[in-house]
Every structure is written in structure tokens, then in C-alpha cells.
Structure 1
């Protein structure tokens, strides 16, 4: 009898101990993940028209200089994890190599897709496009800091790649239908779901664009980019890279490449003497 009573108790104690240890391990892992997602750069956090966004100034920023500006548009869901998003982009914009080579102001708008699951930056069939608020954030930064108006760029991946196409159509420095901001753009794994590609090609024929897509992308089809590449095959300002070995996450490879950023920062709208 004594054994029969003692054995279950021992098992119970061992079980409770295992659970406590398991919870402890999970808690430790969670803490490590949280710590790993903590941004290390001096981001400036702002909100405008209900949109939260973060700004990273170049090292040793001086108001007497004029800096290029990069508007970065994130992929779906990342705006819900602000620290994780900033930590992600620090791998591209926060390295000493990037910050030494390209003194630039970086703007990262963050969509709350917990509150609004269909929120997007534009270029999609459905959902609330936060394009106006994103442009308001850009304007606010241009008012606050010393920027080079001829070197304002937009880039983004996945949902942000769709937004990049949309921003380029509406706000390119050449013949944008709205304000003329962007000297060039770089959409990664993106497409436009509502624009007519023939009309889009007409609007963007002289706008510097480097579109990048993975040939094996099963989430966002490369067909839009392939169509634009055909329609703009005679344009000296359009580039298309379709990587045969990559799927959707092309940004993990291409945002780490020096030549990609060198190309973008070499573009300028200063050649224009007039705008329509």
C-alpha cells in the first residue's frame, strides 16, 4: 500500500517539476527572442493621421547638409511587431557599411494589421490603403529634416512591393498624378493588382525602377513584373531581375547587396528642368 501511494506522488512531483522546467525554458526563450528583437539604432518614433512610423537619421546628421531619403514599405503583418520590424531593417539600413556608404534618412511606416487586417500601402484590390497617411509621414519628415528633394526613393517587399509600384505610379518625380516625390523605386516580390499595365508602362517609362522577383515565388506571382519588363524593354531606366533560385523572400538576399543600394542612390530627378 505504501508503495502504491508513494509512486503516484513521485510521478506527480516529477510531472510538476517537468512542467515548471518547461515553462521556465519557454519563458527564457521568449525573453531571448524579445531581447533579440530589440532595435539597437536611435529610431525616432512619430504618428501622423493614425499611422505610426519610425525615422532613422544618418550618423552625425547635420542640418546644413541635404540627405537622400528612403521610404521603406514592409511586408504583411510586420507592422504589428514594431521592434521586430525595426530589427529586421537594421540588418539593411543600420550596418556600418550602409551608413558609411549611404548617408540617408530612412522612413519606416508601420501598418496595424491586427486592428485592420486589410490595411495596405496601395496597389491591392481590396482593403484600406494607407497611402495618404504614408505620404503625410514623408512630407512631415521632409519638413523636419534636411533632405535632398531630388533623391527621394521608395522601396518595399511583398505587400510593400505592391505599395512601391502604387507609390511610383502616383508620386513619381516625372509625371506622377499627385505630388512629384520619388526619383526612383525598387519593388521586391511585388505587383499591382488594379492598374492597367500598358498605362502603367506609359507613366513609368522614364522613371528609374529596379524590380526584383524570385522565379519560384508562389505567394506573389512574377507575372506583373514580367509584363512590365516586356512593355518597358526599350526603357533605359527600367531593370528587372528574376532570380531563378529564389522564392518569395528575395529581400533576404537582395537588400544585403551593395550593388542594389549603389544603383538606387545613384538615381536623381535633378535632370528634370520642368514637370507637367
Structure 2
């Protein structure tokens, strides 16, 4: 079992290092306003409970089946909203085209789980889209295609497209930032993920604000990469300093305490404090 896990992770790391695209040259700037906010003091319109809809694989042109959440004030001809893309872990893969109930697996963790349990309440309402991988691993081209499809199909603020993922989805998040010179991601939060530390990867990822989370006792995906990539990014003096938050004694499931904010105050004081929820943190940044 141990050798199998090592082989899987090794294969994933090789895939992550394969991109040859030119380095992305962007400089994200913090912002606080958004078209979906009200005109008075930029206060967001409260989300009183939106719609969470299941879209089975093949029901539209998206390369994945997915759940899409639209805030209560969302209208097809209304203002644009920030978009949060959530990439699940290996345990939630499934094919909703052949087995529709499989899509419900994406509701197990992260933002879609919070939406399901009615605990989703970010300061700034967002469209939340949770694709389901049916291919065994997140394919970088399909994820890119999916993000572009969602961002043009729904009323999305093109400057505020955010990406997060856990475990396999953390790998997928890192991979997406490493793969293209024109990705649309304004900020990213990978949790319990990994990749390869090299010059090209580090330069690319330094162009996107990133906050990395990991459990210090994670044996499935050890935190070594997380502890190496963040200092490497910051050594390049990026415009937005990369952040790393680690949880002492926490194993692989470091995502629930991150997505819900319950991990605040439980982080290792030697690293970046968890003093702001990740959704407000991402909202600060826009794509130029």
C-alpha cells in the first residue's frame, strides 16, 4: 500500500513538471469593490440563500459534471459576481453521466458541503462551482477549459476568478497555476497538495497570490513541498507575498478547518497566522 501511494504521488509530480509554456507576466493588485456590491460604501448585497444546482456530465458543454451555486441576488441579466472554483479530492471522483447520484460526492467537503449545510456565508457573495473529476486525476487542459466555460456561461466578474482545492484538488490547483501563461486565476488556496519545486514553476506561481495550507502530521501528502515552495516564491520578491499556514498535529484532513475557519488560532505560530478567512483574503485580489 505504501509503495502504491508513493508511485501515485511520483506520477502526479512528473505530470506537474511537464509544462513548457512561457512565464505569465501579471501583477495582481488588491481591490475591494465589485459590480455585485451595492453602491453605498461598497457593502455587498447580503446573500440570503441562493440556488445550488446539479449539472450532470453531458448536460451542457462543460468537460465535467458539476454543482453550481448562485447567490440570492444573482440574475442572468444582473451584475457580475466573483467566481470560486473548488477542486475535490480523490475520494469524490465519479461519472454522473452513467450514474447521476455520483455527482453528490462533491458535496462531501469544502464550500459545496458548507452550502449544503447552510453554513456558507462569505462577506462577499460568490458563484461557487464544484466540478467532478471522472478521469482519475485533474487534467490541466480540461480544468482550464472548464474555468473558461463557466466564466463565460454565468455572470462572472472576469477580474475575480479564484481557485481552491484539497489533496488531489490541491495538486490540481498548483498544476493550473504552473501550466499556462494566460490563466484567469486572481488568487488561489491549495490545501494538502503538492508539486515540484523548480525555477519555472516558482516564477509562474509567484505571479498569482497564493495561500498554502497543510497539516504538519500529514503522511499521505507530506508538507515538505508546501514548506519549500512558499519560501522559494518569496525569495523572488513577488508583489504579493505567498503565505503558508501549518497545523501542528493535524494529518491529511486540514481542509475542513481551513474552509470553515475553525482552524483559526490552531496554526503553528512559526508560520503565517490564520487570522482572516480565505474568502475575504482572495477577494482582495483581482486579475489586471
Q: TM-score, normalised by structure 1?
A: 0.69
Seen in structure 2, the aligned counterparts of structure 1 residues 87 and 232 have a Cα distance that, compared at 3 Å, is closer
Q: Which residue of structure 1 lines up, in the alignment, with residue 241 of structure 2?
A: 237
1:91 matches 2:109: no
- Measured after TM superposition, the shift of residue 85 of structure 1 is 2.1
Contact 1:44 1:56 in 2 (8 A): no
Task: Please list the CA deviations of residues 48-70 of structure 1 after superposition, one character each: whole Å capped at 9, or x if unmatched.
Answer: 46522221111221232111111
Q: Which residue of structure 2 lines up, in the alignment, with residue 72 of structure 1?
A: 86
Contact 2:51 2:70 in 1 (8 A): no
Q: Which residue of structure 2 lines up, in the alignment, with residue 104 of structure 1?
A: 126
1:190 matches 2:200: no
- Measured after TM superposition, the shift of residue 138 of structure 1 is 1.9
Gaps of 5+ in 1: 1-39, 122-129, 171-175
- Measured after TM superposition, the shift of residue 268 of structure 1 is 1.2
- Measured after TM superposition, the shift of residue 256 of structure 1 is 0.2
- Which of structure 1's runs of 4+ aligned residues deviate more than 4 A? 93-97
Contact 1:197 1:227 in 2 (8 A): no
Task: Please list the CA deviations of residues 181-227 of structure 1 after superposition, one character each: whole Å capped at 9, or x if unmatched.
Answer: 101100000011xx443221111223100000010000001111111
Higher relative contact order (CA 8 A, sep 6+): 2
Q: Which residue of structure 1 lines up, in the alignment, with residue 71 of structure 2?
A: 58
Q: Which residue of structure 2 lines up, in the alignment, with residue 268 of structure 1?
A: 286
SS in structure 2 at match of 1:138: helix
> 2:168 aligned to 136, 159, 162, which one?
159
SS in structure 1 at match of 2:68: strand
Q: Which residue of structure 2 lines up, in the alignment, with residue 222 of structure 1?
A: 223
Q: TM-score, normalised by structure 2?
A: 0.66
Q: Which residue of structure 2 lines up, in the alignment, with residue 251 of structure 1?
A: 255
SS in structure 2 at match of 1:166: helix
| Equivalenced residues, count | 210
Contact 2:66 2:103 in 1 (8 A): no
Where does 1:124-163 land on structure 2 (aligned, <5 Å)? 130-163=139-172
- Measured after TM superposition, the shift of residue 74 of structure 1 is 0.4
Q: Which residue of structure 1 lines up, in the alignment, with residue 52 of structure 2?
A: 42
If each structure's helix is expressed as a fraction of its own residues, which one has the higher value? Answer: 1
SS in structure 2 at match of 1:101: coil
SS in structure 2 at match of 1:53: strand
